[in-house]
Amino acid sequence: MQWLTAGRRQRRADHDIVAHDNNSRQHESKSRAAIRRRAEPGVRAMAGRTAAVKKSELSAAKPALNGRPAANGKAAPAPGGEKVLNLGVLDGHLGYFLRRVQVWVFQDFIKTLAGLDLRPAQYSVLAVIGANRGLSQADVAQFLGIERARLVRLLHRLEKRGLTQRLDSPNDRRSHALQLTSAGQALLKRATTLAELHEANLTQRLGTTNHARIMEALRGFDARR
């Protein structure tokens, strides 16, 4: 009987120890959860600051990655910006800058005279024929520096539009005398007004003084010499 009572006491003691251990573990678990809850705002804030620092460092590193040094040692602008390139030997060639001006001149001329459907070369031919009645095709080609085959095609288009006509030359039966029709004269008058507007645009881009100087310098240039 004593050994039975002792066994029961031992089992109750063991049960009490297990219960106490479970209670201790639950209390420890709750304490850890409370500590994590109190610490979470600080951890999130620290994570946010860390992410911001990394983002800042990455942004600062991008120019070094994307802006590769140019030939002169300077970093090129970031992608999306206009690159500044070195012209090299082109910087000493007048022809290069004349060509760039010519591109702008042709674009603005075509845009300004778009309503008349008249190209720069066609306008030049009409202007020269209008100012020099009776010129031959050879005269026009040489004066304007246009290849004869190209001038033939150009004159053919102008004739189809009823703007020019070729008459028998009184001096040479083998050639023709060119002149404007009434429609050609009327169109040239309208085109001249618009061409003056185009010239005003060019003067505004270059400046009045520079425009006058360039005109004076190039007016005497003769490609035939």
224/212 Cα distance (integer angstroms): 24
pLDDT in tens, 165-198: 988 777 766 778 999 999 999 999 999 999 999 9
pLDDT of 5 over the 70 cut: no
Six-digit token string for 80? 């999306």
125/155 Cα distance (integer angstroms): 8
Q: What is the pTM of this model?
A: 0.61
For the segment 39-60, the average pLDDT, to the nearest whole number, is 42
Of the candidates 161, 164, 171, the one whose C-alpha atom is nearest the C-alpha of residue 125 is: 164
What is the CATH number assigned to the segment(s) 88-219?
Answer: 1.10.10.10
Residues of the chain with CATH 1.10.10.10: 88-219
Portion of the chain with pLDDT greater than 70, in percent: 62
CB atoms within 10 A of CB 123: 20
194/202 Cα distance (integer angstroms): 13
Of the candidates 90, 93, 124, 83, the one whose C-alpha atom is nearest the C-alpha of residue 106 is: 124
Q: What angle do CA 47, 51, 56 make, to 5 degrees?
A: 150
184/163 Cα distance (integer angstroms): 4
203/214 Cα distance (integer angstroms): 11
